[in-house]
Each structure stands twice: as structure tokens, then as C-alpha cells.
Amino acid sequence: MTHPDHDPDHPHQPNSPEEILFNDNLREFTMKIGHICGLESNGKIPQEEAYRRIRDLWKALKRSKKNLGIGEGGQLGDGGDGI
């Protein structure tokens, strides 16, 4: 079964199963970031809590990238927090 976003003829689409999975992880990351920003903007959580949650999500995304072997030597997994 082919992933609905998988189009091998489109150069900007992920081509390997690992790239497809990372793309899904990236989408989930962005949705969660939006939710956290909304909570913070509406005063539901303090800035420090929002930062901690975002930092933890970023670290999890970096681990996902590393574990999937995506973009070895690329910018996302460069060893720094990136935040």
C-alpha cells in the first residue's frame, strides 16, 4: 500500500519509507507546536512551560530523524538544541 502523500515523480516528496515516516513526524510536531502556542497565547500555560514542551518536542523530532537515518549530517540533527 502506498502512503497517500507518496509520489515518486515529485522531487520534493519523500521517497523512502523512512522519509515518509519522518514527514509524518514533522507534521505531528507542527500541529503540537501550534497547540502549545495557542495554550500559551491564551494564558492557559506559562511561557516557561510552553518553552519546555516545545524543547522536548524538538528533541524527540531530532531523535526520530537520527533513528530513521534521515539526512545524515543535515541541519536538524546537528548536535545543538537548535532552539
Q: Is 80 helix (H, G, I), strand (E, B) or coil?
A: coil
The vertex-45 CA angle with 42 and 47, nearest 5°, equals 95
| pLDDT score recorded for residue 8 | 56
| pLDDT score recorded for residue 76 | 52
Please give the chain's pLDDT, 83 residues, in tens.
455 555 555 556 768 999 999 999 999 999 999 999 999 999 999 999 999 999 999 999 999 999 999 876 544 545 555 55
| pLDDT score recorded for residue 1 | 45
Query: What is the distance between the alpha carbons of residues 12 and 8, in angstroms, rounded to a whole number?
Result: 9
| pLDDT score recorded for residue 44 | 98
Report DSSP letters for 43-64, one per residue.
TSS-HHHHHHHHHHHHHHHHHH
| pLDDT score recorded for residue 15 | 82
CA dihedral 61, 13, 24, 35 (to 10 degrees): 80
Q: Which three cell numbers stand for residue 66?
A: 537520527
